Amino acid sequence: MLALLMEAAGTSEGVLFTFSEKPSQLKAVAWKGFAFFPENGFIPLLARQINSLLAARVPQLPGENAWDIYLSSNGNVAPDLFKCIVPLRVGTRLAGLVALGAREADAAYDAEDLQALGTLAHYVALAVHNHNLSETLQQRVIEHLKLLESVHVFCDQTMEVFAAAIDAKEFRSRGHSLRVGRYASAIGAALDLNANEAAELRAAGYLHDIGKVAVDKRLFAKAAKLEPSEFREMADHTVVGHQIISAVQFPWPRIAEVVRWHHERGDGSGYPDHLRNEQLSLPVRIIAVMDSFDAMTSERAYRQPLSIGQTLTEIVRLAPQKYDGDVVQALLTQVRAEAAGRSRFLDPQIVCGIAPSDVDQLAADLKYKMTRGRVYSA
């Protein structure tokens, strides 16, 4: 955006600032052409300067003695570096500012230049405003999570509140994060993990989709296939979630990697980093299976829920290439125990609806795939 505005103005010097209210200041996020520009450039603003920027409907060319109308000299950026300023406004709010330096041959900014800059500034302001909103949302989530980081043993009820908030964007997703956390914890116990490791899995399941707080709500309700750009926005929830979780020091070390990699697949076909099975920790592999299991057995805008039999058949079909075979085997063991009436694994609202013999057949199919049909004898 900055390069586009600089090209339109015919200058090789420019800075793009975003505006924050607490404290009231402009923060440089991109700059070009200025020698020795500070890495964390900022300009504090007084209330009258904010009002002046909001009142400026077009780009401004302050004279040498008029900079304090718009900008303060109390920061680490000297306002007299700039020859033209372009306030970025959205409605009655200040989103940021573009400050441009001297033009080639020290030519003056004329009316045509200012008109072009003013037209482009509208679109840049919207983009910067959306960026500011996203950062504010992430920061608020981080701040709330940091309130918990001094507590070594997290209260399940508190974590469940976060899980419920994550799933609140679309009614069909309600309960998804809670179920993934509980399923994953049970699978961990079935794989002989200790109580602390099972607690880590439960917490990771509760928070695995936290990045979806930054995804447009309309995408969750779309019944048709997502467009490529929409899919990228949806897929980015793994990266956004990782950024949020990485700012919090949890008692368990692997929550952040679960949040980032729970859509990775064993053959490298997942996202965002296209990792393979041997590069993924056991908690990541467990959450990947349980996330898919619950998604398949739940209603979505684009399809009805699959039965337990259909879901397990599909997961076994994709194992061990995409899903970890040992984790899928543990899932089959848990479902079989429920089908036989020996224990409770599935959410109470989900009907098991599969016979133990059918689970046994799926387990045999999985074993054959994992051993490639080889038979071992003592």
With b for 16 or more beta-carbon neighbours within 10 A and e for fewer, the 324-359 pattern comes to bbbbbbbbbebbbbbbeeeeebbeeebebebeeebb
pTM: 0.65
Compute the average pLDDT of residues 362-373: 91
270: left (phi over 0), alpha (psi -120 to 50) or beta: beta
pLDDT band for 155, please (50, 70, 90 cuts). low
> At CA 133, angle to CA 149 and CA 288, rounded to 5?
55
User: In whole angstroms, what is the distance from residue 163 CA to residue 241 CA?
Assistant: 13
Q: What is the pLDDT of residues 257-272, one digit of tens each?
A: 999 999 999 999 999 9
Question: In this structure, what DSSP letter does residue 236 have?
Answer: T
Compute the average pLDDT of residues 290-310: 92
**pLDDT of amino acid 152:** 46
Q: Which residues contact 40 (CB under 8 A, 6 or more apart)?
A: 27, 28, 76
Q: What is the pLDDT of residues 26-74, one digit of tens each?
A: 999 999 998 889 989 999 999 999 999 999 888 999 876 688 899 999 9
Rg (Cα) of the chain, in Å, rounded?
27
Domains and CATH numbers, the chain: 2-135 (3.30.450.40), 154-371 (1.10.3210.10)
**pLDDT of amino acid 162:** 75
